[in-house]
Amino acid sequence: MHLMYLHNTNTKTAFVDVKIDTDSNITTTITVSEILPSTKTITTFKLPEYNTGKLEFQYFHDHAALASVVALKQNPVVDLSAVVGVHGVAFGAEAGFDTSSGSFTKYNAGLGLKKHEYEVSVVLGHASSIVPIPIDEKQASSAVAEITRKFSTNENIFTVGAAYELDPLTTVKARLNNSGKLRHCFSTSWMLQFDDEGFCSVMIAELHH
């Protein structure tokens, strides 16, 4: 069974969604918009498994966004993420904290620069740091370099890749890392129109190795 309720005022919107499955589990989601300007609050809980509930808070701005999720239990896990961007430059970060153990479950940060001719991004995290650098995106060919460092094993992986557009419907891609592992992909698509009534068929083929 699925029940929904929507309530609107001049400034706020509340939405209640209740689902009951065949095992008599009741999942309820309550969404309230504009408690504060540009915000949304989402509460989810499940009965009888009340420890699976969570509370989510979201804030959106033209150049920034913030989200936080808290598990509804005695020692919750708290997740927080934020991003700020303007004029092709963006910075984002996320973190997760387990209050029961007093330790971080994750912590990542990223910086991105996007221009008309190129795009560069750097991502640093608790598991690895990655620097993908795509170039020449406006042309039929493109290249990418990626550096990955796994802090847990002190392992560095360097990968280079390239893509070439043979025609508007066919693209060849390849990636090679410093351990000698090569991956390549050939993808193509065709569209065939058989008559003037618009009847046509589309076939897409993609080969990986």
Q: In this structure, is residue 130 part of a structural domain?
A: no
The DSSP output letter for 114 is: E
Write down the pLDDT at residue 41: 93
Q: In this structure, is residue 94 part of a structural domain?
A: no
Mean pLDDT within 71-86: 90
Q: In this structure, is residue 38 part of a structural domain?
A: yes
Q: In this structure, is residue 75 part of a structural domain?
A: yes
Q: In this structure, is residue 45 part of a structural domain?
A: yes
Domain count, the chain: 1
User: What torsion, rounded to 10 degrees, do the Cα atoms 125, 126, 128, 134 define?
Assistant: -10
Q: In this structure, is residue 156 part of a structural domain?
A: no
Higher pLDDT, 57 or 137: 57
Mind listing the pLDDT tens digit for each residue in 172-184?
A: 888 888 888 888 7
Average pLDDT score, the chain: 78
Q: In this structure, is residue 58 part of a structural domain?
A: yes
pTM: 0.58
Q: In this structure, is residue 3 part of a structural domain?
A: yes
pLDDT at 144 over 70: yes
Print the domain residue range for 4: 1-84
Per DSSP bridges, beta strands 2-8 and 13-20 are: antiparallel
